[in-house]
Amino acid sequence: MATVINMPRLSDTMEEGTVATWLKKVGDKIEEGDILAEIETDKATMEFESFHEGTLLHIGIEEGETVPVDSLLAIIGEKGEDFSDLLQNTNSKEVEKENTTPIKENKEEIIENKVVENINTETSHTNITSEGRIFVSPLAKKIAKDKGINLSEIAGTGENGRIIKKDIENYTVTSTNQKNTFTNVTKNENITTNVDDTSEIKTSQMRKTIAKALSVSKSSAPHFYLTIEVNMDNAIKSRKIINTIPDTKVSFNDIIVKACAMALRKHPQINTTWSEDTIKIHNHINIGVAVAVEDGLVVPVVRHCDNLSLSQIGVSIREFVGKAKDKKITPNEMQGSTFTISNLGMFGVESFTSIINQPNSAILSVGAIVEKPIVKDGQIVVGNTMKLTLACDHRTINGDVGAKFLQTLKTFIENPVTMIV
């Protein structure tokens, strides 16, 4: 018996999802546990596996399309099985749901009943029927209308030649339209302006979420910034010795994470969350580590960092980075941070400021280790330094509290042996 697969809710805040890539096609045999598609949520792009066996009979959402949670994603059943009634019932339920909102579409697919004129056999496409009707998805129709694109000029790649979103996005304007000329008549004067070509990149669900969260953080939390410079000579020597131990690999970032965890234990005012009535002081220390991915940024959380060794922290971070790059990190692994670290030192950035990752009260920006002349015991010598910038929420953290935290952090990083004792 055929089964409907709906767009899953892959995170607690997910309201809609985008099919980034289909890994199976109609007609493929599906085993339980097979990865059907990569779904882009508000937090990450994740693999979606099947909990059913059978044949993929129908794909309801094309690549690049964004739909609400619980929309029809696919249908799996026996090969050759008639699923038309199931599809009709599902579409009817979706129409009923959509009719409760002011703006609605009554069908999964819109048929343009406009007669297309002056189309010969050389220019017509599979999306145009003999009656001159154009099969187009609602989303594709809206985008085409916004861009002023004639649907009759586009070849549809969806089912039965239907025009879908990616067809509109991949459409190339003919050379005669490469530059548009607009004429604006003002005070009886003709003003002609040439507009250069632009290209558009679809805003991912992750990017939308990042933009919203950071905008809220920057506008609601009064940020202030404190910067210190740390001598890294001892840290360099200590790391080299630690990494001589078999099966041990520790990065400078691991050292910084451990040092932050221990400094947070001594300065709990930094490990807080603001609310209107109370300031929550967290007894646990969970540090979020920003990781850049193709579509934006994810922040996996290393939990109870103060109780982990340097090597344990290193293993956890490397595992998270691998999962993030492979799009296998879960929403649960990105929740519950009490403090965040963002490191751009590997890109040669010496100093920068970050926006607080709420509900945290602070975020540490880590710059590159720079070899330069420094003064040591009254003499100018060559040394290695690194700049750290702490962004603080002034609602929960005062300047002196942030400064004392950085002093403690500096002591731990410059003397890594103190983190082992």
> Catalytic amino acids?
394
- Contact residues for 401 (Cβ-Cβ < 8 A; gap 6+): 267, 269, 270
Pairing label, strands 45-49, 35-40: antiparallel
- Contact residues for 145 (Cβ-Cβ < 8 A; gap 6+): none
10 Å Cβ neighbour count for 331? 18
Q: Is 133 or 43 the better-scoring residue by pLDDT? A: 43
pLDDT higher than 60, residue 72: yes
Does residue 311 lie within any of the structural domains? yes
Q: What is the mean pLDDT of residues 49-62?
A: 89
Instruction: Please give the single-letter amino acid code of residue 87.
Output: L
Residues 249 and 394 in one domain: yes
Estimate the crossing angle of helix 233-242 against helix 252-266, to 10 degrees: 110
Residues 45 and 92 in one domain: yes
**Do residues 41 and 11 make contact, with C-beta atoms less than 8 angstroms apart?**
yes
Which three-class secondary structure string do you get for 247-306? CCCCCHHHHHHHHHHHHHHHCCCCCEEECCCCEEECCCCCEEECEEECCEEECCEECCHH
Residues 396 and 257 in one domain: yes
Give the span between the Cα atoms of 6 and 416, in whole angstroms: 51
Task: Choose the final residue of a domain: 157, 175, 193.
Answer: 175
Does residue 233 lie within any of the structural domains? yes
Does residue 209 lie within any of the structural domains? yes
Residues 93 and 134 in one domain: no
CATH number at residue 171: 4.10.320
CATH number at residue 304: 3.30.559.10
Question: pLDDT digits over 286-323, tens only?
Answer: 999 999 887 788 999 999 999 999 999 999 999 999 98
Q: Give CA separation, 387 vs 128, 196, 240, 406, 407, in Å.
A: 62, 42, 21, 11, 13
Structurally, the chain folds into a number of domains equal to 3
**Do residues 38 and 24 make contact, with C-beta atoms less than 8 angstroms apart?**
no
User: What's the domain range around 161?
Assistant: 119-138+145-175
Sheet containing 35-40: order of strands: 45-49, 35-40, 16-22, 66-68
Does residue 106 lie within any of the structural domains? no
Question: In whole numbers, what is the pLDDT of the chain averaged over residues?
Answer: 82
51-55, 128-132, 191-195, 234-238, range with greatest mean pLDDT: 234-238
| Exposed e or buried b per residue across 137-170, where buried means at least 16 C-beta atoms within 10 angstroms of its C-beta | bbbbbebbeeeebebbebebbbeeebbbbbbbee
Q: What percent of the chain has pLDDT over 70?
A: 82
Q: Is 100 or 391 the better-scoring residue by pLDDT? A: 391
pLDDT band at 351 (very low <50, low <70, confident <90, very high): very high
Q: Where are the alpha helices (DSSP H) in 44-83?
A: none
Residues 131 and 213 in one domain: no
Residues 358 and 287 in one domain: yes
Question: pLDDT digits over 5-14, tens only?
Answer: 999 887 767 8
Token code pair at residue 415: 């003397």
Does residue 104 lie within any of the structural domains? no
- Contact residues for 220 (Cβ-Cβ < 8 A; gap 6+): 358
Q: Which helix (H) or strand (E) holds 189?
A: strand 189-195
Q: DSSP secondary-structure letter at 171? A: -
Sign of the CA dihedral running 343, 347, 353, 359: negative
Q: Give CA separation, 302 vs 71, 142, 228, 264, 406, in Å.
A: 34, 43, 25, 14, 21
Q: What is the mean pLDDT of residues 191-213?
A: 73
Instruction: Please give the single-letter amino acid code of residue 183.
Output: T
How many distinct helices (H) and strands (E) make up the chain? Answer: 8, 22
Q: In the prediction, which pLDDT does 309 show?
A: 93
Residues 91 and 210 in one domain: no
Assign 240 to helix, strand or coil: helix
Q: DSSP secondary-structure letter at 396? A: T
Which region among 66-75, 131-140, 275-284, 382-391 has the lowest average model confidence (pLDDT)?
131-140
Residues 127 and 252 in one domain: no
Q: Is 255 or 3 the better-scoring residue by pLDDT? A: 255
Query: What percent of the residues of the chain are helix, what percent strand, and what percent coil, each to the nearest 5?
Result: 30, 30, 40
Assign 380 to helix, strand or coil: strand
Residues 211 and 156 in one domain: no
Q: Is 0.75 surpassed by the pTM of this model?
A: no
Residues 288 and 228 in one domain: yes
Q: Is the peptide bond before 416 cis (omega within 30 degrees of 0)?
A: no
Question: pLDDT digits over 32-42, tens only?
Answer: 888 898 888 87
Does residue 127 lie within any of the structural domains? yes
pLDDT higher than 80, residue 88: no
pLDDT higher than 70, residue 402: yes
Which region among 103-112, 167-176, 369-378 has the lowest average model confidence (pLDDT)?
103-112
Give the span between the Cα atoms of 43 and 249, in whole angstroms: 29
pLDDT band at 136 (very low <50, low <70, confident <90, very high): confident
pLDDT band at 258 (very low <50, low <70, confident <90, very high): very high
Gap between the terminal Cα atoms of the chain: 63
Does residue 152 lie within any of the structural domains? yes
